[in-house]
Structure 1
Amino acid sequence: MREMNLRRNKVFFQPKREDFDKYIVPCFSPAPFILVKGRGSRLWDQENKEYIDFASGIAVTSLGHSNVKLINALNTQLNKLWHVSNIYTNEPVLKLAKKLVELTFADKVFFCNSGAEANEAALKLARKYANEYYDKTKNEIIAFENSFHGRTLFTVTVGGQSKYSDNFGPLPPAITHLPYNDLKTFEQHISSKTCAVIVELIIGEGGVIPIDPFFLEQVRKICTNYDITLIFDEIQTGMGRTGYLYAYQEYNIVPDILTSAKGLGGGFPIGAMLTKEKWAQIFQPGTHGTTFGGNLLAATVAETVLSQLDYEMLSGVLQRHDIIMNELIKLNKKYNIFQIIRGKGLLIGAQLSSIYYGKAKKLTQLASEEGLLILIAGSNVVRFTPALNIPLDDIYEGFQYFEQAIIRFKDK
């Protein structure tokens, strides 16, 4: 029977959307179309319908689809060497590590395959650091309500949205969630038992909520005073997304550990944990590891992405931010659909007015029917994360489609 099935599989197979329901574990509920080709900030589906992309794979394809420089770099490495184990090192990962260290606060880098893995490494490192320098009672991790830090059991517990951790218990202990931007509550809760604080500089999945600069400044001071490891989760805000290489650089407030992924690989899976020397030395051989982290192909692409994030590119992010905000404000004056519009750089959220609460997903579905791909950040916020280099004409055309979607949305 197995041999007959193998022979049958050799017959030409044209995947359809219903095949997802037939073959894939239903963790996701994808759109009714299948995307097959991309170029810049444009995508095409199986029916050759064209879309303008304001989503970028959730802030991942930061330099657009089929970026020529990334393709050329990847092809060069494909013809040389794909993978070696971490028993050895390799040139691409060393080049990438050097560049990240030179451009940030960090002294050392650990590479992995995703944002969740980067956060997992950071949280493990923070706990081990406290164990090494203090004692086992200093183990509490503080995170913030509505945060999101990944899907491993550890990171989903640290994330401040219980809907992602419900029914997976027993969950890792000694994790506390506090209100975001609430300094008084934070100050009251901190104790000698706190070993780490992990914070997003913009809450992403939980609604696109920027951090209060004064709150961030005080968190840094308190962590220093109490010997607490401060972790910045810059999975979504990093790699030019806010108009800075990493968002912390706008505030000139430095963490002890920073996590990066998404835009780091421009679409190729890679994650990184950046840290200071004192913390880095806690992870000695055998304490933590990965099979694919530091992969030659991923490192090659990431180093090429990083090389393109120059002053001109980052300035262009701020220019595009202003255009998108202005377009959203104009639409809101016309249709009164949003309660608040917020964000930085090209991570922007538009929170629906109360009469439309819970309907953000519906608006994104209508937008895709019109030819525009956008995201949600919770059930009430529409999220915009286009490529950092999206052509200005694509922005204006995309908002024409978005206006048509809003008109249909309001009529329903």
Structure 2
Amino acid sequence: MSYDFNEAKEHVVNSYGRLDLILTHGEGVYLYDQDENKYLDFTSGIGVSSLGYGHEKWVKATSNQLKTLAHTSNIFHTEPSLKLAKELTEKANMSKVFFANSGAEANEGSIKLARKYSYDKYGAGRSKILTLIQSFHGRTITTLKATGQEKFHKYFYPFTEGFDYVKANDIEDFKAKLTDDVCAIMLEAIQGEGGVIPLDTKFVQEVVKACNEKDVLVIFDEVQCGIGRTGKMFGYNNFNVEADIVSVAKGLGAGLPIGGILCSSKVADVFKPGDHGSTFGANPVVCSGALVVLEEICNEQYFEKIYKRGLFVRELIDEAKNPQIVDVRGMGLMIGIKVKCDPALVQKEAIKKGLLVLTAGKDVVRLLPPLTITEKELKVGIDIILEILSSLK
């Protein structure tokens, strides 16, 4: 049975600017629609499908677990969740992890963890969280308020209190905002939704140093740029700094919903029974799939591949010297192409040529392909983008 877009208009809440595709299946780095049209995927479900589609080990692991035990409450442990906790904390060089279902949940839990750490140690009145202008941290009431983009701060008042916003890469603005009531700062190594904007190394290092001196916790939101996306385990690993709390999601699940709050030893025991919870957190099916992700791509050899493939893409774009391209930025396989034209137009034209891309803001074509993509496949996609840009006036 096939469906059309009238079905969506009738039955689905219109909360997304959806494109005119109904996808049915995927294989490798390709997706297919109802008419069997084939699309090279440079989106990976907005950074989720890190292993592509139909990955044999991932499918086998999740299918076998589904047959064995699909869910149990967190009153009990499961073998996949315990194994994932061990593997993830060791690879992340962190102490403990709390499992949730999404990046927004992971960020919300990170905020709670930071505030409880400060309350336990210093008492009330030290609860403000700093975030960066142009950041994006989620769609819950609290993570919307944490998001440093005013366009998201509409309609849903009143928001959770206790946030202030710092200009990215402006150390003086940060120092002015680092008041005595601040308990943490939340940073994205690359501001994905904000336009694929990497932070400056010096800025990050000075921020972390100042926070450490004042016992202000450093939270890195690695929902989009973590789990190998930049050619490192986490985006912040590119800055040679340590984190107190790290939120993860998206690519860790490779297609199934997962979120995680990674805790350093400083905050590992802050949450006590009853302080936080998640019904579907640590789901054994999802954890089984995440273990395959860690095994397949979270190692130095594969990180190097991702890094080099990112350089390859940038070289292809730079060599083209396309007049529509203003800038190319990002790390690894998280790439933003700033263009003079409307990126949404590029996105729609790409679909006609069998390529799926993302946008970010008003002027960026965003690329988040599966981390398993080859250089040959990357070149096919980049050639399509360059062809489209060359055709635009």
1:336 to 314, 323, 327: 323
Once superposed, what is the RMSD of the aligned Cα atoms? 1.2
Partner in structure 1 of residue 185 of structure 2: 197
Instruction: Give me the whole-angstrom Cα distance separating, in 1, the residues matched to 2:243 and 2:146.
Output: 18
What's the secondary structure of 1:97's corresponding residue? helix
2:346 aligned with 1:363, yes or no? yes
Q: TM-score, normalised by structure 2?
A: 0.97
Show the 5 A alignment for 1:148-227: 148-227=136-215
2:42 aligned with 1:44, yes or no? no
1:385 to 362, 365, 368: 368
Q: Is the 8 A contact 1:260 1:273 kept in 2?
A: yes
1:313 to 302, 317, 335: 302
Instruction: Give me the whole-angstrom Cα distance separating, in 2, the residues matched to 1:399 and 1:132.
Output: 52
> Quick one: which amino acid aligns to residue 49 of structure 2?
T
2:91 to 103, 128, 132: 103
Instruction: Give me the whole-angstrom Cα distance separating, in 2, the residues matched to 1:134 and 1:311.
Output: 40
Q: TM-score, normalised by structure 1?
A: 0.93
> Quick one: which amino acid aligns to residue 387 of structure 2?
Q
Instruction: Give me the whole-angstrom Cα distance separating, in 1, the residues matched to 2:338 and 2:146.
Output: 25
Question: Compared with structure 1, are the counterparts of its residues 288 and 50 closer, same or farther at alpha carbon in structure 2 (3 Å cutoff)?
Answer: same
Show the 5 A alignment for 1:11-410: 13-309=1-297, 310-331=299-320, 333=321, 335-353=322-340, 356=341, 359-408=342-391, 410=392
Instruction: Answer with 159-168 or 116-125: which moved more.
Output: 159-168
Q: Is the 8 A contact 1:366 1:405 kept in 2?
A: yes
Instruction: Give me the whole-angstrom Cα distance separating, in 2, the residues matched to 1:114 and 1:42.
Output: 24
Instruction: Give me the whole-angstrom Cα distance separating, in 2, the residues matched to 1:400 and 1:120.
Output: 40
The unaligned stretches of length 5 or more in structure 2 are none
> Quick one: which amino acid aligns to residue 387 of structure 1?
P
- State the Cα distance separating 1:54 from its structure 2 match: 0.8
Larger radius of gyration: 1
Q: How big is each residue's C-alpha offset from its partner over 1:95-116, in whole Å with a ceiling of 9 and x where there is no partner? A: 0000111112311100000000
- State the Cα distance separating 1:247 from its structure 2 match: 1.9
Q: Is the 8 A contact 1:313 1:388 kept in 2?
A: no
Q: Is the 8 A contact 1:370 1:404 kept in 2?
A: no
What's the secondary structure of 2:267's corresponding residue? helix
Runs of 4+ in 1 over 4 A off after TM superposition: none
Q: How big is each residue's C-alpha offset from its partner over 1:319-377, in whole Å with a ceiling of 9 and x where there is no partner? A: 2111211122233x1x3011111110000101113xx3xx1111111111111111111
Q: Is the 8 A contact 1:370 1:402 kept in 2?
A: no
> Quick one: which amino acid aligns to residue 341 of structure 1?
V
What's the secondary structure of 2:40's corresponding residue? strand
**Taking every aligned residue pair, what percent have the same amino acid on both sides?**
38
> Quick one: which amino acid aligns to residue 43 of structure 2?
A
Q: How big is each residue's C-alpha offset from its partner over 1:273-326, in whole Å with a ceiling of 9 and x where there is no partner? A: 001233121211111101000000011100111011223321111121112111
Question: Compared with structure 1, are the counterparts of its residues 278 and 312 closer, same or farther at alpha carbon in structure 2 (3 Å cutoff)?
Answer: closer
